[in-house]
Amino acid sequence: MFESNIVMVYLLGILLFSYLAEGYIYSLFSSICAVLLYNFFFTEPYYNFKVDNPDYIITFFVMFIVGFITSMLTIRVKTERQQVEDREKYISSLYYIGKKLLDVKDVEDLARISSEELAHQLRANVMVRFYDTSGEVLCNSINGEDMFQGKDDLAACLETYQSSSPCGHGTNLFPEAKAYYKSIISRNGVLGVIGISLKKDHNITDDQNTFIDVVMPQISVVLDRLKISENQKRVQMEMQKERLRADMLRSISHDFRTPLAGIMGLASTAIENYNKINDEVRKNFLQSIYDDADWLNELVENILQTTRFEEGKTRLDIEEEAAEEIITDAVTHVKKHARRHNIYVNIPDEIILINVDGILIRQVIVTLLNNAINYSPNGSDITVSLYREENKVVFEVKDNGPGILPEELEHVFERYHKSNSRNTSNRKGMGLGLSLCKSIIEAHGGRIYIHNYEPHGTIVDFYVKS
């Protein structure tokens, strides 16, 4: 009974040793040691390895077989449990990364999240670089130390993109590189490259490589989705532009019809009744024809300038200009058809010089004055002011008309927006004036604002840097 208890204790020792150790070599070693120790301490003759009783040979053999098999089974269970835990962690990591990738908003966000998550999971320095269709770098994100700018690393990264073959550290291509590079491939070709620099100069393991291979398709799918989304937005913008062009053509035909009909009617009347009308009437006819033609000319200029700004073809002719002269030229231009309004100018005594395109700034002031004339009743006061505010030069046009409805204030600078609530004249423009003013001022690095003031009226001010 005593010997059987000793045998069980030794088997328990083998089991514990096998559980704490790793590998079948340790299992074999522990089984042999247990048999030798049992022979040394508990069989006659004691304290040596001699065996007087042949029956102990069978006991030792059975102890060795049972201990070895038991320890092997223990190690296998432990290994399988570790594999299950690793697989669970692996699946959890993939789920977490996939969930985060679904929330990306653009290509830069995708590169940043991909580099962060891969660096966290692999415990390495990671670079994610995406390319456009022409082979230029679209965006680049590095998490950790920047180990990717060396000559060998740059060459390995480019080779990976061009050949879609793994390059860099641990491979036959550019083995002197500090990082391992792998391409991001979709059905449309290579989209980018991932660079991984493990700490302590280790090579990528098979498990890490498998993990990267599983994450890669997720990144490529999200990248394809982003590109499709961008293409859809581009198509929608083109469709919107086409609709705007169609609306503009319809608006042009409608807005041109009234002044052209007036010009043709007045000219026809003057021709048919030339000998019946006096000089004063002829002068009024000619003045009306000139006003309508001048309005048409201004409308055409706005259309042309808007088209140039849309296509990016407008180049600013920046020169040093006197702000007072720009205001004077603009007021002189509009006074021809502002005989029923009072225009006042407030300018400082000092000469204010600004670096602007004088013609375009003058056009902005003319547009604002024409709006004030058209949208305020006869006899109204219109004031043009100029003043400094820190390092800015502010232009202001104020009228005492009916003002703008609060719900329209945020839309007045939108293209083709027309305010029907306060137009007091029979001239309704295309809604390009304020939109064009905004484009001109922003091209100069300034801002333009519009707001009402009490008791009634509108103030439009804009600034440029002096």
pLDDT digits (tens, 9 = 90+) for 150-185: 899 999 999 999 998 999 988 888 988 989 999 998
Render pLDDT for 361-374 as a digit per residue (tens, 0 to 9).
888 898 888 888 88
What is the pLDDT, as a whole number, of residue 219? 86
Cα–Cα dist 33/437, whole Å: 94
| Residue 1, pLDDT above cutoff 50 | no
239 burial level (CB within 10 Å; 0-12, 13-18, 19+): exposed
**Owner of token pair 């004031």:** 383
What is the pLDDT, as a whole number, of residue 387? 92
List, in sequence order, the alpha helices (H) in 273-386.
279-311, 323-334, 358-374
Judged by DSSP in three states, 284 sits in helix
Highest-pLDDT range among 8-22, 232-246, 407-421: 232-246
Render pLDDT for 324-348 as a digit per residue (tens, 0 to 9).
999 999 898 888 777 788 999 999 9
Q: Could you tell me the pLDDT band of residue 382, with boundaries at 50, 70 and 90?
A: very high
DSSP state of 204: P
Q: Is 174 left (phi over 0), alpha (psi -120 to 50) or beta?
A: left
Render pLDDT for 191-216 as a digit per residue (tens, 0 to 9).
899 999 987 667 788 878 888 888 88
Q: Give pairs for 182-188: CB < 8 Å, separation 24+.
A: 182/212, 182/216, 184/130, 184/216, 184/219, 184/220, 184/223, 185/216, 185/220, 186/220, 186/221, 186/223, 186/224, 188/224
Peptide bond into 455 cis (omega under 30): yes
Angle at 158 between CA 106 and CA 101, to 5 degrees: 25
Cα–Cα dist 355/347, whole Å: 18
Cα–Cα dist 18/27, whole Å: 6
**167 token code pair:** 């390059």
**309 token code pair:** 């700004």
- Nearest CA-CA partner of 431 in 354, 371, 384: 371
Beta bridge partners of 137: 131
Cα–Cα dist 113/97, whole Å: 9
Beta bridge partners of 183: 193
More confident residue, 20 or 109: 109
**108 token code pair:** 């830069």
Give the helix/strand (H/E) hosting 344. strand 342-346
* Amino acid letter for position 381: D
What is the pLDDT, as a whole number, of residue 428? 47
* Amino acid letter for position 418: K
458-465 and 447-452 strand pairing: antiparallel
Mean pLDDT of 299-322: 73
Judged by DSSP in three states, 452 sits in strand
| Residue 124, pLDDT above cutoff 70 | yes
For a pLDDT cut of 70, what percent of the chain falls above it? 77
Average pLDDT over the chain, rounded to an integer: 79
| Residue 235, pLDDT above cutoff 90 | no
Beta bridge partners of 318: none
Determine how many CB atoms are found less than 10 A away from the CB of residue 327.
22
What angle do helix axes 323-334 and 358-374 make, rounded to 10 degrees?
A: 40
- Nearest CA-CA partner of 408 in 394, 423, 424: 423
Cα–Cα dist 308/315, whole Å: 9
What is the pLDDT, as a whole number, of residue 21? 61
Q: Give pairs for 185-190: CB < 8 Å, separation 24+.
A: 185/216, 185/220, 186/220, 186/221, 186/223, 186/224, 188/224, 190/131, 190/161, 190/162, 190/164
How many angstroms separate the first and last alpha carbons of the chain?
106
Q: Could you tell me the pLDDT band of residue 398, with boundaries at 50, 70 and 90?
A: very high
**DSSP helix, strand, coil percent of the chain (3-state; round to 5):** 55, 15, 25
Q: Mean pLDDT check: name the lowest of 120-129, 279-288, 421-430.
A: 421-430
Render pLDDT for 61-89 as a digit per residue (tens, 0 to 9).
766 776 667 777 776 777 777 777 767 77
Highest-pLDDT range among 138-142, 292-296, 421-425: 138-142
Q: Are 87 and 67 in contact (CB under 8 A)?
A: no
Determine how many CB atoms are found less than 10 A away from the CB of residue 119.
19
44 burial level (CB within 10 Å; 0-12, 13-18, 19+): exposed
DSSP state of 102: T
| Residue 420, pLDDT above cutoff 90 | no
